[in-house]
């Protein structure tokens, strides 16, 4: 059985494939081809966001693939700037229209703060308002599961204060060199599944001698090792690519990293994101 056939079960009983396709930086006019290629290879988990500007293309790829809609898991995210109930309601409607789908399998709040104030405060009430809109869409069956992204423990506790639904997912920056152990443990304690975005990291991790040595031991590439690492942490792994060869390679991770080597990777502290450092989630502000 390939990793592409493996799933986790969310706290509400919905199954989510363990390996997905991230679509950040895939242009809208190229997204449909990327999705169709991924589905042909065997991917069943497709992740997009309002901020990516490619929901239309992703939806086209989903609708025109030969695989039935109910066999695909499609995620999107509310724009980080939306911290208001009515705006969130309208934005959820907007995503469904752009995707051209009658339901979304997972909808997230993209960030606890707007991107231009990432890490700032004063958004607790707004996040609760946006969450209420997601809960309503979930109750109505238009969104099968709901969650958050980039939420720290405080942000999760804030949501939980008045929530009728505990977030099913928290999508986080997780990779060898950046493993947020305490936050992962907190999410597990609340039955919140973590999705790892950018599992292959950026920049220097690909040239890290320790990572290269571990990859060589298993006869795999550094990206394959990094994806496998996030899977063995118990997260959904969401490598992003529009290249079908990379999609295939990213799914060839049916090997097991030993406990000792997992410890080596857990101990890495390598967070030089190179050109991507300008993005808030990679430390820029």
Q: Residue written as tokens 């990516």?
A: 52
pLDDT of residue 237: 98
Instruction: Give the mean model confidence (pLDDT) for residues 67-88.
Output: 98
The DSSP line for 135-147 is HHHHHTTSBS-EE
* Of the candidates 203, 197, 151, the residue with the CA atom closest to the CA atom of residue 175: 197
Q: Residue written as tokens 């009430």?
A: 125
Compute and round to an integer the Cα radius of gyration of the chain.
Answer: 18
In what helix (H) or strand (E) does residue 95 lie, and over which residues does it extend? Answer: helix 85-99
Confidence of residue 285 (pLDDT cuts 50, 70, 90): very low
Give the β-pairing of 21-22 and 106-109. unpaired
Query: Taking the mean position of all CA atoms in its chain, how far away is CA 58?
Result: 15
Q: Measure the CA–CA gap between 49 and 212, rounded to whole angstroms.
A: 32
Mean of pLDDT over the chain: 94
Confidence of residue 284 (pLDDT cuts 50, 70, 90): very low
Longest dimension (CA), the chain: 53
- Report pLDDT digits (tens) over 226-258: 999 999 999 999 999 999 999 999 999 999 999
pLDDT of residue 275: 58
- Report pLDDT digits (tens) over 177-196: 999 999 999 999 999 999 99
- Report pLDDT digits (tens) over 30-60: 999 999 999 999 999 999 999 999 999 999 9
Whether residue 224 contacts residue 250, with contact meaning beta carbons closer than 8 Å, is answered with yes
201: left (phi over 0), alpha (psi -120 to 50) or beta: left
What angle (nearest 5°) sits at the alpha carbon of residue 125, between those of residues 121 and 127? 80
Q: Measure the CA–CA gap between 138 and 121, rounded to whole angstroms.
A: 27
Q: How many C-alpha atoms does 171 have within 13 Å on its Cβ side?
A: 27
Kindly list the catalytic residues.
52
- Report pLDDT digits (tens) over 108-132: 999 999 989 988 999 999 999 999 9
């Amino acid at each position: 059985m390939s990793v592409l056939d493996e799933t986790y079960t969310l706290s509400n009983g919905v199954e989510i494939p363990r390996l997905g396709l991230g679509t950040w930086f895939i242009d809208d006019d190229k997204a449909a081809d990327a999705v169709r290629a991924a589905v042909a290879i065997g991917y069943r988990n497709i992740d997009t966001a309002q901020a990516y500007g490619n929901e239309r293309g992703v939806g086209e790829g989903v609708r025109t693939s030969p695989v039935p809609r109910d066999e695909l898991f499609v995620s999107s995210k509310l724009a980080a700037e939306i911290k208001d109930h009515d705006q969130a309601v309208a934005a959820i409607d907007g995503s469904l229209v752009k995707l051209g789908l009658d339901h979304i399998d997972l909808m997230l709040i993209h960030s606890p703060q707007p991107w231009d104030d990432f890490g700032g405060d004063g958004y607790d009430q707004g996040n609760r308002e946006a969450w209420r809109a997601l809960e309503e869409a979930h109750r109505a069956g238009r969104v099968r599961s709901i969650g958050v992204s980039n939420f720290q423990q405080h942000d999760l506790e804030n949501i939980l204060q008045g929530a009728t639904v505990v977030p099913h997912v928290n999508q986080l920056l997780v990779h060898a060199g950046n493993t947020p152990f305490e936050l992962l443990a907190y999410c597990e304690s609340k039955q919140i599944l973590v999705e790892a975005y950018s599992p292959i990291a950026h920049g220097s991790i690909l040239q890290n001698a320790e990572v290269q040595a571990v990859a060589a031991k298993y006869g795999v590439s550094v990206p394959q090792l990094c994806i496998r690492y996030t899977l063995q942490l118990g997260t959904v792994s969401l490598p992003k690519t529009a290249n079908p060869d990379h999609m295939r390679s990213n799914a060839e991770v049916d090997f097991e990293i030993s406990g000792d080597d997992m410890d080596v990777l857990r101990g890495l502290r390598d967070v030089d994101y190179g050109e991507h450092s300008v993005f808030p989630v990679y430390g820029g502000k």
